[in-house]
Amino acid sequence: MAGVTVVKIKEDDDGIRLNRWFLREYPSLSLSHLQKLLRTKQIKVDGKRAETSTRLLKGQELRLPPLDEQKAQKKENFIKKDDALLIQNMVIYEDNDIIILNKPSGLAVQGGTNQSKHIDGLLDALKSDGQERPKLTHRIDKDTSGILVLGKNRKSTLALTEAFRTHKIKKTYLALCAGCAKSNEGQIKAPLEKIGEKMVVVEDGQKAVTNYRILDNIGQKFCLVEAEPLTGRTHQIRVHLAHIGLPIVGDTKYGRREDAKKANLSLKLHLHSYKIDLSDVLNKKTVVKAKIPDYFMADIKSLGFNFKEK
């Protein structure tokens, strides 16, 4: 048939749902239009009728009717040169499967209300020739800095996404906190629930567990904390440290703005995703550290902490 296009499914798309494939390849094609094309048998997989839920397999042939208009509208995001350099300069590790970024505080991972610039919108700037666009495998808060892992192919993306979802990846955070804990290390078990715009500790909330260790302290005024979340609740480390009397400096949602002001510290959130161990997921030793932000490091030094990046 004239105008018919035949696409062979690649290994990276093995197992993807047909509707998700179209959402990526033809983003301007509406779901209702797609369903009509399927219903009238204008789209077939290996010569057979398909549905939106059909899972595509490597090597299958997808037959498509003329979709020139929709194809023409499938354009890579236009990224300004400065923004492309911004995300390219965040890369601290890359191999055939993953890219690891050191995300700055204040930049959101995904779009939302009043979020015109975000990591997800800049990922085309990291795409290699002939390769798929890197994909997010997890999230960190907008105001938290540090490690963010991207998948470069379907296999690694699925493996990492599942590992993050099931909390099988060891992540270590560094936090500058106001106050000083009674114990130099411990485990915080405090269930969390979202009430309004905040996460709060409630007895019957979702399970949330965080290990912590005090690296150094300045009397009873400030301490430097290493935190390892064993679960992945929203704002978990921020809420848990505040719960034991150690609000993070710069945390206006769960802490006190005056803690930073009185000590002449930066008003930014002092929470940094510092280290990650992906060895078990990638089946090779992969431990990556992200450089601490300048404002964070300057405040560590100004307060007189005994801490050096290794």
Q: Residue holding tokens 């030094």?
A: 301
d(CA 293, CA 304): 17
Q: How far apart are CA 22 and CA 20, in angstroms?
A: 5
Task: Collapse the DSSP code of 123 into the 3-class scheme (helix H, G, I; strand E, B; otherwise coil) and give the result.
Answer: helix
- State the residue for tokens 């997010």: 136
* 8 Å CB contact between 124 and 77: yes
- Three-state SS for 239? helix
Q: How many CA atoms lie less than 13 Å away from 187 in the CB half-sphere?
A: 6
CA pair distance 201, 241, nearest whole angstrom: 11
141 is an active site residue: yes
Amino acid (1-letter code) at residue 172: T
List 46, 124, 129, 141, catalytic entry = 141
91-121 in b/e burial notation, b at 16+ Cβ within 10 A? Answer: ebbeeebbbbbbbbbebbbeeeeeeeeebbb
Of 61, 51, 138, the C-alpha closest to 101 is 138
In one-letter notation, the amino acid at residue 284 is K
- How far CA 306 is from CA of 223, 224, 301, in Å, comes to 11, 9, 8
Nearest to 249 by CA among 274, 221, 230: 221
Q: State the Cα–Cα distance between residues 174 and 215, nearest whole angstrom.
A: 9
254, 198 contact by CB (below 8 A): yes
State the catalytic residues: 141
